Structure 1
């Protein structure tokens, strides 16, 4: 089972991060939703601090590039195998930092990857 941190998680059903948490969980992945507001999504509490998480396979981003700098250290400290930059979250600076630590970066959509079976 792959462990995924969903950064920018929301309890709002119209948000893609909400849909991603549900779909990841349905697909059998262990999910850690992290956001700026407390709430619950797919029966999981949204972490509002920067929780220590080990064994992270993927960080999937739902935070715009203008709000990412305060998350750089946290994201990199998770030592994920890859970071998925969902549409609208692309950020050359973070990608460069990740690649320097041998973290794969993808410009992709988590929901589409899950739906076509290449997550």
Structure 2
């Protein structure tokens, strides 16, 4: 299995949030996770930080924040040089998509949970 280190932006300790479910499912599928959110905390054994601290070998960035909160991540994402960005439902952002494409980052409009459960991740 090709484990893809994933940066989850918008991670939340709230188990009702999709970002929380995604962190758990990614871990279940043995994908290393870096979780970044508005507040520090934990999802099971995964720490949530308020800054991107672990920048090594990020394959995928999956977004769980709306377009108005994404601008501060442009430079960070560019420096990470991920293979792809997943725009989960509600996170679509034309400016971020163009930015990603300009930086040779694949853009997916998809649900991380669905991709994992269908073997397409």
Which shows bigger deviation, 16-25 or 39-48? 39-48
Alignment of 1:102-113 (within 5 A): 102-113=104-115
Please name the residue that 1:115 is paired with: 117
In structure 2, the gaps of 5 or more residues are none
Stretch moving more, 109-118 or 71-80: 71-80
**Is residue 21–residue 42 contact of structure 1 (8 Å, CA) maintained in 2?**
no
Q: For residues 60 and 17 of structure 1, what CA distance do their matches in structure 2 show?
A: 9
Structure 2 equivalent of residue 39 of structure 1: 41
Determine the C-alpha separation between the residues in 2 that align with 1:116 and 1:45: 27
Aligned twin of 2:24:
22
2-structure distance, mates of 1:118, 1:41: 24
| Aligned-pair CA distance for 1:54 | 1.3
Q: Is the Cα–Cα contact under 8 Å of residues 27 and 33 in structure 2 kept in the other structure?
A: yes
Q: CA RMSD in A?
A: 0.9
Contact 2:36 2:50 in 1 (8 A): yes
Structure 1 residue ranges (4+ consecutive) displaced by more than 4 angstroms after TM superposition? none
Q: Structure 1 length as normaliser, TM-score?
A: 0.96
Residue 6 of structure 1 and its aligned partner are, at CA, apart by 0.4
Q: Does the CA contact (< 8 Å) of 1:58 and 1:84 recur in 2?
A: yes
Query: For residues 70-108 of structure 1, what are the alpha-carbon distances to aligned partners after superposition, in whole Å with 9 as ceiling and x for unaligned?
Result: 121112221100000000000010110110111000000
Shift, 1:52, TM fit: 4.0
Structure 1 unaligned residues grouped into runs of 5+: none
Alignment of 1:60-71 (within 5 A): 60-71=62-73
Report the 3-state secondary structure (helix = DSSP H, G, I; strand = E; otherwise coil) of the residue aligned with 1:46.
strand
